[in-house]
Chains A and B, each alone.
Chain A
Amino acid sequence: MAVFLQQISAGLSVASILLLIALGLAIIYGTMGVINLAHGDFLMLGAYCTWYLEAHLGFGLLESIPTAFLMVAAAGWLIERTVVQHLYHRPLDTILATWGIGMMLEEGMRLAAGAEPRYVKLPSSVDSSVHLLGMEFSLYRLVIIAITVALLAITWYLFGKTEFGMKVRAVTQNRSVSECYGINTKTVYSLTFAYGAGLAGVAGALVAPIKSVSPDMGTHFVVDAFLVVVVGGVGSLLGTVLSAGILGELNAGIAFILNDTLAKAIVFLAVIVVIRFRPQGLFANRVRG
């Protein structure tokens, strides 16, 4: 029983990080149909932001998180305005263009900050373990899960209950009609993209203390994240959550029996099968207009 619970908890930790990264991607994919392959590099920007703030300005992790959000959101805004907005009706081209942008971000960071890995210190306040249900959990991992849940709630509220959210949903369903009602769709798209990017920045800030910060750290996450989003389905926040949970747990479970590498391979094979039989995703709740 204990082993089983341990397994669940390990999966939960993986799933929450995956969800954090996938959340921003899901917002962007769900609203605009854009598969943002630069998302991992947005995470990287957030991580570097955190490192810089800590190393040069003495920021703590708590202050870094909203700062990372804002800075990466601003970068996202810029990228949407210059490149992405031209490609909304060309999904294949958005994959390519965002990959190109990601490349540029990586190389730019390599030129600016060098290729050696940087390290962000884990604040001592969260560097301990907690005993729960007879098992040990890293406090920081619990913090990550808590923040992820909080962000999920904020996002749900933002897109489901506010006027801004309503505008987003209107634009997603029918862009031209929304414009007839006076909604500035360009701004809606830019803000949404920026928000998604900002979320990736927060993910980067949170992940920075537990992984080293390097220009190519994002590529490790981006493929996993967008597979979570695609499997979850277009336009379904719940779908993304469930998908992250399922894939995270599956990965952890198989890794327990076999090993990490094979686990990931098998999960990806499962994803291929899902996409083939249900390209719209498992939990798609809307036909994209």
Chain B
Amino acid sequence: MPKRINKALLVYVLFAVILLVVPTFVGGDAYLLNKFSRYLALGILAVALSLSWGYGGILNLGQGVTFGIGAYGIAMYLKLAASASNPGGLPDFMGWNNVSSLPWFWQPFHHLSFALLAGIGIPVLVAIVLGWFMFRARIVGVFVAIITLAMLVVTNLLFIDQQRYTGGFNGMTNLAILKVGPVSLDPYSLTFYYFASGLLIVILLAGFYIVNSKFGLVLRAIKENPDRVRFLGYDVAIYQTVAFAISGAMAAAAGMLYAMVLQFASPTFMGVALSLSVVIWCAVGGRDSLLAAAIGAILVNALQGTLSNQFLDTAQLLLGAVFVLVVLFLPRGLAGISEVFARKAKRSAPAVVAGAQATGRLKPEAPDRKPGKHAEVR
């Protein structure tokens, strides 16, 4: 395997080790473990966005759609589990909304396998439909961002409106703890933290495989110049839709984990604030590196989690400022800072010569160079 890939894998392994070792410094504080698990879930969400934005050039301002639907998927299962002793097994919010019996589309969520399937499958389906809708029409950049944002608001409003089936504004609270066989995934336990870490690592590795495959390469080419890729024979719309769908699947997994961590699912998961926050974490960490995006999300949230309320507002203000600076000057995020310095160092002889050649001004050493078209390099 190429050296570059080996080096990258090493960093991933290092990250995994750090993750797995963290609990030992925490001394079994259940509350802290839960907070960490929450950060990891948001890290997965950032990886999802990094795939579609950093690698595919698709700025999804509505990542909350797939995130939220995934969360509600598992929440429905866990709510039913928690409501088993209610009359008719009916979740509490249904009772308050005068729903007499469990609707047919709720029934299958008695089974974990269905909930998992639907929790990933439905968001992926939504992503495929929306993606196909946009990419077949060759909708670009800004308008993709606008459409995904509008879709987010639509989803948010629909979940709030259908409160008889979704719990409305308050969402689904008091979810049961997930039990898989003998294992109880209490979100305040060490087991759960390892589960969350494992999920993040698995998703990172899956992402790593994808971006280093030829599919990932074509995706990066599409990000730079989709038309040129079409002239090579690739059906760009399909590539974009698949990337969008894979990103959606990752976000859905993140959502499920998130719902389990917080033990509730609410329409705020599909709110503008959260979706735009993911964009900020990705941008600040480094959108074109899956790992940098995850770390960015984890660190920002960890920072916010440790600051008391007093300093929270100031921190948010600073975060906004850092974000603006990153957008202006650091397109590769804080992870790309080293690159900026390296580039400044490279501004030496070789590049100057190449630059001069490109503008056709460096003639002397090539006296037989024809006066070809002074073509612009894009």
A: which residues have CB within 8 A of B? 35, 83, 86-87, 91-93, 95-97, 99-101, 103-104, 107-108, 110-111, 219, 223, 226-227, 230, 259, 261-262, 264-265, 268-269, 271-272, 275-277, 279
* B154 A276 Cβ-Cβ under 8 A: no
Within 8 A of A (CB), among B124-170: 133-134, 137, 139, 141-143, 145-147, 149-151, 153-154, 157-158, 160-161
Contact status of A83 and B328, CB under 8 A, knowing A100-B280, A107-B313, A265-B157: yes
* A104 B328 Cβ-Cβ under 8 A: no
* B276 A110 Cβ-Cβ under 8 A: no
Within 8 A of A (CB), among B307-356: 313-314, 316-317, 319-321, 323-324, 327-328
Q: Which residue of A lies closest to B155 (CB)?
A: A265
Partner of A279, one of B143, B160, B319, B320: B143
Judge whether B252 is part of the interface by a CB distance below 8 angstroms: no
A275→B148 CA distance, assembly (Å)? 11
Q: Name the A residues within 8 Å of B273 (CB-CB).
A: 219
Q: Name the A residues within 8 Å of B321 (CB-CB).
A: 100, 104
A239 to chain B, nearest CB (A): 16
* B157 A262 Cβ-Cβ under 8 A: yes
A91→B146 CA distance, assembly (Å)? 12
Partner of A97, one of B61, B139, B141, B324: B324
Task: Bits for B244-274, please: 1 = Cβ < 8 Å to A, else 0.
Answer: 0000000000000000000000000000110
* B157 A97 Cβ-Cβ under 8 A: no
Q: Which residue of A lies closest to B151 (CB)?
A: A272
A269→B324 CA distance, assembly (Å)? 30
Q: Which residue of B lies closest to A224 (CB)?
A: B153
* B142 A101 Cβ-Cβ under 8 A: no
Judge whether B279 is part of the interface by a CB distance below 8 angstroms: yes
A92→B160 CA distance, assembly (Å)? 29
Contact status of A100 and B313, CB under 8 A, knowing A268-B154, A276-B134, A276-B147: no
Contact status of A111 and B137, CB under 8 A, knowing A96-B279, A103-B323: no
* B320 A107 Cβ-Cβ under 8 A: yes
Judge whether B41 is part of the interface by a CB distance below 8 angstroms: no
Q: Name the B residues within 8 Å of A276 (CB-CB).
A: 133-134, 137, 139, 143, 147
- Interface residue count on the B side (C-beta < 8 Å): 38
A230→B143 CA distance, assembly (Å)? 9
**Other A-B pairs beyond A96-B327, A99-B276, A259-B161, 15, CB < 8 Å:** A83-B328, A92-B141, A92-B145, A93-B328, A96-B283, A96-B323, A100-B280, A107-B313, A223-B150, A230-B143, A262-B158, A264-B153, A265-B153, A271-B150, A275-B147
Chain B CB within 10 Å — which of A93, A265, A271 has the most?
A265
Q: List 6 A-B contacts (CB under 8 A).
A: A91-B142, A100-B327, A101-B320, A111-B314, A223-B153, A268-B151
Contact status of A91 and B161, CB under 8 A, knowing A83-B324, A269-B154, A275-B147: no
Main secondary structure of the interface of B (DSSP, over half): helix
Partner of A103, one of B151, B154, B283, B316: B316
Judge whether B59 is part of the interface by a CB distance below 8 angstroms: yes
A268→B65 CA distance, assembly (Å)? 15
Q: Which residue of B lies closest to A110 (CB)?
A: B313
A277→B283 CA distance, assembly (Å)? 30
Q: Name the B residues within 8 Å of A91 (CB-CB).
A: 141-142
Q: Which 7 A-B pairs have the closest CB atoms?
A: A103-B320, A104-B320, A107-B317, A100-B324, A100-B323, A265-B157, A261-B161
Q: Name the A residues within 8 Å of B314 (CB-CB).
A: 107, 111
A219 to chain B, nearest CB (A): 7
Q: Name the A residues within 8 Å of B145 (CB-CB).
A: 92, 95
* B134 A86 Cβ-Cβ under 8 A: no
Within 8 A of A (CB), among B74-88: none
Q: Name the A residues within 8 Å of B137 (CB-CB).
A: 276-277
Q: Name the A residues within 8 Å of B313 (CB-CB).
A: 107, 110-111
* A93 B161 Cβ-Cβ under 8 A: no
Q: Which residue of A lies closest to B324 (CB)?
A: A100
* B139 A104 Cβ-Cβ under 8 A: no
Q: Name the A residues within 8 Å of B147 (CB-CB).
A: 272, 275-276
A104→B321 CA distance, assembly (Å)? 7
Contact status of A97 and B327, CB under 8 A, knowing A108-B317, A227-B146: yes
B223 to chain A, nearest CB (A): 12
A277→B328 CA distance, assembly (Å)? 31
Partner of B142, one of A95, A264, A271, A277: A95
* A223 B272 Cβ-Cβ under 8 A: yes
